[in-house]
Amino acid sequence: MERRKARVPRGVSNASPIFVDRTEGALVTDVDGNTFLDFAGAIGTMNAGHRPPAVVKALHEQVDRFLHTSFHVAMYESYVALAEKLAELTPGNFEKKAMFLNSGAEAVENAIKIARRYTGRPAVVSFTRGFHGRTLMGMSLTSKVKPYKYQMGPFAPMVYQAPYPYVYRRPAGMSEEEYTDSVIAQFKEFFSAEVSPEEVAAVIFEPVQGEGGFIVPPKRFVDAVKEFCAQHRIVFIADEIQTGFGRTGRWFASEHFGLEPDLITVSKSLAAGLPISGVVGRAEIMDAAEPGQLGGTYGGSPLGCAAALGVIETMQRENLVQKAEALGRQLKDRFTRWYERYPLIGDVRGLGAMVAVELVRDRQTREPAKDETARVIQGSVQRGVLLMGAGLYSDVIRILCPLVTTPEQLDEGLDVMEEALAEVSGAVSTQQAR
């Protein structure tokens, strides 16, 4: 840790004060011999678990053949095979093509480039509380100022942020239906007040907001956005970097809403931790760019492609998409019981195994419990469960455990979390009494 402090900048944050020695399935063991249940999943990259055997085997085989040639110089079959697989798995009954890059932010950047090239339009619309990466375009699209954007500007021009529904924090006395109507009306008004739809190349949309706090939008709102994009020939991009690959109990969260996005960005759990990302979408849109306008030296590396094909094999063989539904039911059942027991729990929400709790100091005012959330996470890590927070107010605890986590492991981890929650809740109750 002293060596890390001396040579790694403080802007590179760490969620837990441990150094890893080895991993397996849902477990992480540190250099001191402590074993942790992983409920953070390397920020959602471990849906197929740590070191899935099919991925390890594929990587060994690839290392023995060649490491890198750059697809732009000398092609390899695994790149094409992965493009074929993703064309099959992603929603949409139309011809698709795929390209590969290194990171989620790069996928987002290239999806925007493709949409601009296809439409000939300059503007891009994202949503409040959305997160799309830490590059210049990624930050421009991202809504949360601190820590992602603070004093990092100026940002990319002609990027606008439209309202995104947050049902839990709707105005008091307003029904969910009334609130949905209101946000749809605001969305349409946005295109009169902020930017003309004729100038908009793309709308980029998280089917469930990840860093924003696992916020699930009403289906009616999603339908309205997609219909508006179709009406005005705007490319609809689904950012499935955190929601994809089974996390929500579907291969892609878009499927919950009956969506067939024009373009989909993928990364994170695509390759069990190997750095690779992709843009998948309608062939005519993907083909809009000229040769040389897309790509990168390491994009779609042989190791990344091999790992991704191993992940898909693992997920299909072990029925991990279906297992995500079962994990989600177990999580929601437990969190609902916590809601009845601990006033700190303000909301329980999510799709499939993408489940979170939002902590508040007062259920009536919904005042965010930012400090208490940090203490519950810290207390859980100290007891052996790796966790991460989320949300615009940093008051959400999100679960991103590998989908290979057993029901027994999940219960054990939730027991640990409840110990930390009970401790913090007791301290809050005592403080309020005083």
Taking only the tens place, the pLDDT of each residue in 215-243 is 999 999 999 999 999 999 999 999 999 99
Cβ partners under 8 Å of residue 395, min gap 6: 213, 358, 359, 360, 368, 369, 370, 372, 373, 389
Distance of CA 104 to the CA centre of its chain: 10
Query: Angle at the Cα of 355 (from 354 to 360), degrees rounded to 5?
Result: 145
Per-residue confidence (pLDDT) for residue 204, from 0 to 100? 98
Q: Does domain 1-51+319-425 have CATH number 3.90.1150.10?
A: yes
What is the side-by-side strand order in the sheet with 159-162?
96-101, 277-282, 263-266, 235-239, 200-205, 123-127, 159-162
Both tokens of 263, joined, read: 């373009």
Cis peptide before 291 (omega within 30 of 0): no
Alpha-carbon distances, residue 63 vs 51, 272, 385 (angstroms): 16, 17, 33
Distance separating alpha carbons of residues 217 and 201, to the nearest angstrom: 23
Contact at 8 Å (CB) between 161 and 127? Answer: yes
Parts of the chain belonging to CATH 3.90.1150.10: 1-51+319-425
**Residue spans of the chain under pLDDT 70:** 427-434
Distance of CA 321 to the CA centre of its chain: 16
Distance separating alpha carbons of residues 330 and 345, to the nearest angstrom: 17
Per-residue confidence (pLDDT) for residue 428, from 0 to 100? 61
Alpha-carbon distances, residue 231 vs 94, 198, 224, 226, 235 (angstroms): 19, 11, 10, 9, 11
Model's pTM, two decimal places? 0.95
Distance separating alpha carbons of residues 203 and 261, to the nearest angstrom: 10
Both tokens of 17, joined, read: 């004060």
CATH class of the domain comprising 53-318: alpha beta
The residue ranges of DSSP E strands in 297-366, in sequence order, are 345-351, 354-362
Contact at 8 Å (CB) between 353 and 399? Answer: yes
Contact at 8 Å (CB) between 382 and 374? Answer: no
Write the DSSP symbol of residue 215.
B
Write the DSSP symbol of residue 30.
E
Phi, psi dihedral angles at 21 (to 5 degrees): -105, -45
Query: Looking up tokens 């989908």, which residue turns up?
Result: 403
The residue ranges of DSSP E strands in 117-261, in sequence order, are 123-127, 159-162, 200-205, 235-239
Query: Which among 228, 182, 225 is positioned nearest to 207, based on CA atoms?
Result: 225
Parts of the chain belonging to CATH 3.40.640.10: 53-318
Per-residue confidence (pLDDT) for residue 429, from 0 to 100? 52
Contact at 8 Å (CB) between 76 and 305? Answer: yes
Per-residue confidence (pLDDT) for residue 426, from 0 to 100? 86
Alpha-carbon distances, residue 272 vs 78, 110, 116, 197 (angstroms): 16, 22, 31, 38
Query: Which among 102, 129, 93, 99 is positioned nearest to 113, based on CA atoms?
Result: 99
Contact at 8 Å (CB) between 259 and 286? Answer: no
Per-residue confidence (pLDDT) for residue 433, from 0 to 100? 47
Contact at 8 Å (CB) between 372 and 344? Answer: yes
Judged on CB neighbours under 10 Å (0-12, 13-18, 19+), 67 is: exposed
